[in-house]
Amino acid sequence: MNTIIAGLQWGDEGKGKIVDYLTKSADLVIRSQGGNNAGHTVITNGVKYILHLLPSGVVWDHKVNVIGNGVVIDPVGLVDEIRRIEAQGIAITPEKLLISDRAHIVLPIHKELDAAREASLGSHKIGTTKRGIGPAYADKINRCGLRVADFTDRAFVSGRITRRVAEANEILARYSLPTFDAAAVCSEMFTAFERLAPHVTNTIPVLHAAWKAKQSLLFEGAQGTLLDVDFGTYPFVTSSNTTAGGACTGSGLPPMAIERVIGVCKAYTTRVGSGPFPTADAGLSDYLHGLGREFGATTGRPRACGWLDTVLLRFACMVNGVTGLAVTNLDGLDASDTLQICTSYAIDDKVHTLPPAERDAWDRAVPIYESLPGWQCDTTGCSRYQDLPGQAQTYLARLAELCGVPIALVGVGPDRAQTLAV
Ligand code: IMP
């Protein structure tokens, strides 16, 4: 069954684990947007793999993993990641990893421009991962980007890098930031491409052939709906379409190829970076950080934590066309005596059941909560949905009701085995 896995919150919903769980029945795993701003953690047989650009299917034997045209690739970052995973005993062969010849490249200048822009925004900064994602997508949209296929023409790449480095240096010098040497950037890129070249191909016919052959395709979404450049809490978003539609534009497969959309959310809410977060709760943050949970896989930053927000989830289910919910980290709430679920926002005395578009409305959004009793026992050993305590099942049923989508999977711990099918 061709499935999109979409994050329904601000990223970090535990998609890697759900992708990993569903990969056993998939033939191909596809990344279609974002870049190495993503951090997907997969734990299998007690070994932890942290993936940024590689699709989660690489930790399995005999799965084909595709980095689609909609992804932005930092070649040096990808080579480092391949080396790290190979050092953990997993060979990344050309059969196992295919890289789209149409994907765009993140250059070192993009990372520095990302940092410069953040610095210039001061207290209004986005809180980016500083991986150069925004500036790389800006070059793509501005039609001055470099694509993977361009690397077959060294003279073109050198010329394009030289021009972009000169333009970037002017901006960086304005902020008294270190500037780049074009020849050094070219040499770094060409060296990285020597390792990547055997993986590069036109992935579109490969995906279409797999679809026609009724192989099972799994789209691994990165980031989350509220970070989508169109549907998220703009401008505090990333620079790609993180929602289900991005899987099609970022891979070359049409919408009718998709049969199922699994929306992943935590049993509570987290966010890194800046921007609105109506249900943020300092007590819940302190509690989860005290358990050693909720530190970012990419940057190590502590994530702000808060109660479940079904205003956001309802909207996320709409725009993604979610057919089933995968609720992760239920065990994070094991010790809480009372749980809050936000059902709507009060904004200027009006009740809103969907998120507002106006930036300043977020500052005035007051969450309206419903309280439910906690279960106050350890769920990490549950191996079937029916084993979950009654209060946990009630909490999940209410979540599903408020979103209008049934629960498909529940996560009660980081291991592959701690995923319960409903
Ligand atoms: P950028 O994607 O690095 O430009 O960052 C833009 C916003 O998206 C910031 O708030 C980041 O913290 C957030 N972000 C980007 N990637 C992820 C992710 O994989 N998980 C959570 N937040 C992310």
Structure token digits, residue 191: 């060296």
Closest ligand 1 atom to Cα of 34:
2
Does pLDDT of 297 surpass 80? no
User: How many angstroms separate the Cα of 120 from the Cα of each of 126, 172, 272, 288, 344?
Assistant: 11, 11, 20, 33, 35
Residues contacting residue 123 through CB under 8 Å, at least 6 positions apart: none
CA dist 222 and 34 (Å) reads 6
CA dist 342 and 335 (Å) reads 19
User: How do residues 135-177 score in pLDDT, each as one tens digit?
Assistant: 999 999 999 999 999 999 999 999 999 999 999 999 999 888 8
CA 288 to centroid of chain Cα atoms: 21
Closest ligand 1 atom to Cα of 227:
8
CA dist 55 and 66 (Å) reads 7
DSSP 235-257: TSS-SS--SHHHHHHTTT--GGG
pLDDT for res 156: 98
pTM of the model: 0.95
User: How do residues 319-364 score in pLDDT, each as one tens digit?
Assistant: 999 999 999 999 999 999 999 999 999 999 999 999 999 999 999 9
CA dist 110 and 167 (Å) reads 11
pLDDT for res 280: 97
pLDDT for res 416: 78
CA 170 to centroid of chain Cα atoms: 32
DSSP 370-410: EEEE---S--TT--SGGGS-HHHHHHHHHHHHHHTS-EEEE
User: How do residues 229-241 score in pLDDT, each as one tens digit?
Assistant: 999 999 999 999 9
When pLDDT is cut at 50, 70 and 90, the band that residue 262 belongs to is: very high
pLDDT for res 16: 83
- Angle (deg, nearest 10), helices 182-196 and 154-174: 130
The size of the chain, in residues, is 422
Mark 224-260 as b/e (b = at least 16 C-beta within 10 Å): bbbbbbebbbeebbbbbbbbbbbbbbbbbbeeebbeb
Map residue 56 onto helix, strand or coil: helix
Catalytic residue among 12, 20, 228, 334: 12
Tell me the CA–centroid distance for residue 131 and ligand 1, in Å.
9
pLDDT for res 301: 84
What whole-number percentage of the chain has pLDDT above 90?
A: 90
CA dist 199 and 408 (Å) reads 34
User: How do residues 51-63 score in pLDDT, each as one tens digit?
Assistant: 999 999 999 999 9
Tell me the CA–centroid distance for residue 126 and ligand 1, in Å.
9
User: How do residues 171-204 score in pLDDT, each as one tens digit?
Assistant: 999 888 899 999 999 999 999 999 999 999 999 9
Helix (H), strand (E) at residue 350: strand 350-352
Query: Is 6:244 a contact under the CB 8 Å cutoff?
Result: yes
Side chain identity at residue 418, one-letter code: Q
Tell me the CA–centroid distance for residue 37 and ligand 1, in Å.
6
Does pLDDT of 299 surpass 80? no
* 334 included as an active-site residue: no
Query: Is 328:396 a contact under the CB 8 Å cutoff?
Result: no
CA-nearest residue for atom 12, ligand 1, is: 273
User: How do residues 354-378 score in pLDDT, each as one tens digit?
Assistant: 999 999 999 999 999 999 999 999 9
Average pLDDT over all residues of the chain = 95
